[in-house]
Structure 1
Amino acid sequence: MQRSSDHPTVHVGKVWRLMLADLGLNAVAVLRRAGLPSGLLDGDGSRITLDEFYALWESFDAEAQSPTLALKLGQIEASEFFDPAFFAAMCAPNMTVAGQRLGEFKRLVGAFSLDVEVMSTATRFTYRCKYRPDLPTTLAATEIVFLVNLLRRATRWRVVPKAVFLPSTLQETSAFEDWFGSGISYGDAASFSLDPIDAMRPFLTQDNQMWQSFEPGLRRRMEDAREDLSTRARIENTLLELLPSGRTQIDDVASELAVSRRSLQRRLSEEGTTWLDVLNSARMRLAQHYLKNTTLSAAEVRFLLGFEDPNSFFRAFRRWTDATPEAWREAQRMRA
């Protein structure tokens, strides 16, 4: 079941078969509860929409009936999956580089991202969805447990995070806090912070030769995954990252995607769209995200989207939504 569209998709297959088997869960029952085909995980697996992926996680959680499911999943032996991204991380010299390698892979391949922020007092690792502000509770907790477990395995040291944040409350918070060795706070994203010493603690698993052998395959997987999206979707996804930094020109996107401006325009034309259409779509998505999920003023949103003229932004937003930014934001609050 292959899907190609302007909407992000997620691959599910071998890893899910192994996870379900390790936990003794019936794959058909999990898929049926999620409203997905019973053969979805067969063979090489399938690509599903982001909404379907979220439904799959909710079904997985419901069928498992375990408040500590994320602790079990995050510590499953990832080497059994033969995941090049995992081995690339384990071959890194430290957690900072490992997180950056995983982050690059996630940014280019999937619907999720891992950002590494190095500061003077801490290094923060943040996991989020690139297209939705929410994360399934178990998925968010699993990712954080997986990353901390990877760090502990690679250093052979029980590293304790300085802080752990999750987007929603866990049923057995105390069990997770015991495992992490630190308290858990709740906020907008899933993240954990390390003391700079722990972030740079040497990986005993570092292996440059193995990294060199895995890197070409990892790069190919990145490129293969990117081809699943249309040119329009790839450009729009790139714009979502570039717009807040003030890079709004087609040449900026062409450079990021390593193609010429002319090639980009030609491909858009072949798909029946234009650069201006894609730019407007990306701006609309970001504007709605900022207004719904942050306290930024309309003026600040306008600035982040690259509108130099305030009136241009208000006219564009009214064209997109039939409302002013303030009225649209208030309507979203009333629905919540």
Structure 2
Amino acid sequence: MDTSQTYSLFMATDVACRILGVDPQVMLDTAGLGALPYGQTEMRGTAQQYFDCWNTMEVLSPRPDYVPHLGVAISRGPVIPVFFTLSCAPDMETGLMRLAQFKSLLGPTLMRVFWEGGQLRVEFDSVDARVPMPPSLGALQLVVAVEHMRGAAAHLICPVAAGFDGTEEERRMIAGHLGIMPERSHAAYVAFSPDDAKRRFISENPALWADIEADLRLQLVAQNDRWPMADRVRGALVDLMPAGRTGAEDVALALDISRSTLQRRLRAEGTSYQDVLDSTRRDIAIRYLTKTTLRADAIAQVLGYRDANSFSRSFRRWTGQAPVAFREDQARPVRRHGDTA
């Protein structure tokens, strides 16, 4: 494995720290990563640095129930596009298979989904056997997976088996939430019954999934310089915007090129950074307004705006309407010629 490969630290610095009430800069300093420019550019780290962040948050967390609290909050809290792989799916098995394709967008963890002994088994592990995943992060993966399944199915799904490499105390910490006592095992895993694996999701949304999948694939190929620069920028923005990082410098760093190179290559394609940013935001905003029930302030956060008012001003500039008015117009049935009121 290429140990220089890096991963977004968004889930650690922007999501987990906010939920736990931990200062991101204090966490980075404590983990020995204080040189990373938090809040200025896209933050990425190696697998070891990523895991160091999680170990440090466990130490700094003011909550003894750190893992279940964080797992439930992540599942019910901020809009994280990768998790639409689950909520848009028709059932658990399909959703987990989709998530496994894009799991690396959330950090240096592998996700395997397969049938074994009549159960649907999901395993989580480090991308590098030389850099083990912290037990607490393994436990968190289990809580997040179960919580997402319950929300998508609107049913109290309980796994039939689970395990991770934690002490008895650590395993008991999440047993109440899972509904089962995890065993001690090298791989973090959770297994579900066939009935639950095929249970229909009430959140199924095939129209939204088609768009989300395209965006997530762009994120995966953003590092491939054979793709058009506009597509690479769009893919990077999907990853960066929820963290509020929408500047050309942020994107250039994420793509490992200079800002001048980024701008020059976009000009050669007949566009500009601002045009790509605006079109990406506009397309995603319209998608969420017409295909989901997300509130305007949640959409604003996904798009990297400071607040809903800033988002509303931009949306008016793009469409001539406020977001709520646009959603209402799109939901109104089209009256055909000759119809009567």
TM-score of the aligned structures, taking structure 1 as reference length: 0.61
Alignment RMSD (CA, Å): 2.3
Q: How far off is 1:38 after superposition? A: 6.0
Q: Structure 1 residue aligned with 2:167, among 156, 166, 169? A: 169
The 1:199–1:10 alpha-carbon spacing in structure 2 relative to 1, beyond 3 Å, is: same
Q: Distance in 2 between matches of 1:35 and 1:113?
A: 25
Structure 1 partner of 2:182: 184
Q: Distance in 2 between matches of 1:208 and 1:52?
A: 36
Do the aligned residues in 1 keep the contact of 2:164 with 2:186 (CA within 8 Å)? Answer: yes
Q: Distance in 2 between matches of 1:83 and 1:219?
A: 15
The 1:223–1:80 alpha-carbon spacing in structure 2 relative to 1, beyond 3 Å, is: farther
Q: Equivalent residue of 1:76, what SS?
A: helix
Q: Distance in 1 between matches of 2:195 and 2:160?
A: 11
Q: Distance in 1 between matches of 2:133 and 2:147?
A: 20
Q: Equivalent residue of 1:74, what SS?
A: helix
Identity %: 23
Q: How far off is 1:55 after superposition? A: 1.3
Q: Equivalent residue of 2:222, what SS?
A: helix
Q: Deviations over 1:296-333 (max 9, x none)?
A: xxxxxxxxxxxxxxxxxxxxxxxxxxxxxxxxxxxxxx
The 1:192–1:109 alpha-carbon spacing in structure 2 relative to 1, beyond 3 Å, is: closer
Residue type of the partner of 2:39?
A: D
Do the aligned residues in 2 keep the contact of 1:128 with 1:189 (CA within 8 Å)? Answer: yes
TM-score of the aligned structures, taking structure 2 as reference length: 0.60
Residue type of the partner of 1:123?
A: L
Residue type of the partner of 2:25?
A: V
Do the aligned residues in 2 keep the contact of 1:14 with 1:45 (CA within 8 Å)? Answer: no
Residue type of the partner of 1:196?
A: P
Residue type of the partner of 2:216?
A: L
Runs of at least 5 residues in structure 2 that lack an aligned partner in the other structure: 226-341
The 1:50–1:14 alpha-carbon spacing in structure 2 relative to 1, beyond 3 Å, is: closer
The 1:120–1:190 alpha-carbon spacing in structure 2 relative to 1, beyond 3 Å, is: closer
The 1:71–1:170 alpha-carbon spacing in structure 2 relative to 1, beyond 3 Å, is: farther
The 1:60–1:16 alpha-carbon spacing in structure 2 relative to 1, beyond 3 Å, is: same
Q: Distance in 2 between matches of 1:80 and 1:102?
A: 18
Do the aligned residues in 2 keep the contact of 1:13 with 1:42 (CA within 8 Å)? Answer: no
Structure 2 partner of 1:95: 92
Instruction: Please state if 1:84 is matched with 2:81.
Output: yes
Structure 2 partner of 1:203: 201
Do the aligned residues in 2 keep the contact of 1:11 with 1:45 (CA within 8 Å)? Answer: yes
Instruction: Please state if 1:154 is matched with 2:152.
Output: yes
Q: Distance in 2 between matches of 1:207 and 1:32?
A: 42
Q: Equivalent residue of 2:82, what SS?
A: helix
Structure 1 partner of 2:136: 138
Q: How far off is 1:91 after superposition? A: 0.2
Instruction: Please state if 1:26 is matched with 2:41.
Output: no
Q: Equivalent residue of 1:115, what SS?
A: strand
Do the aligned residues in 1 keep the contact of 2:74 with 2:144 (CA within 8 Å)? Answer: no
The 1:172–1:77 alpha-carbon spacing in structure 2 relative to 1, beyond 3 Å, is: closer
Count how many residue pairs are aligned between Structure 1 and Structure 2.
223
Do the aligned residues in 1 keep the contact of 2:31 with 2:56 (CA within 8 Å)? Answer: yes
Q: Which moved more, 1:6-15 or 1:196-205?
A: 6-15
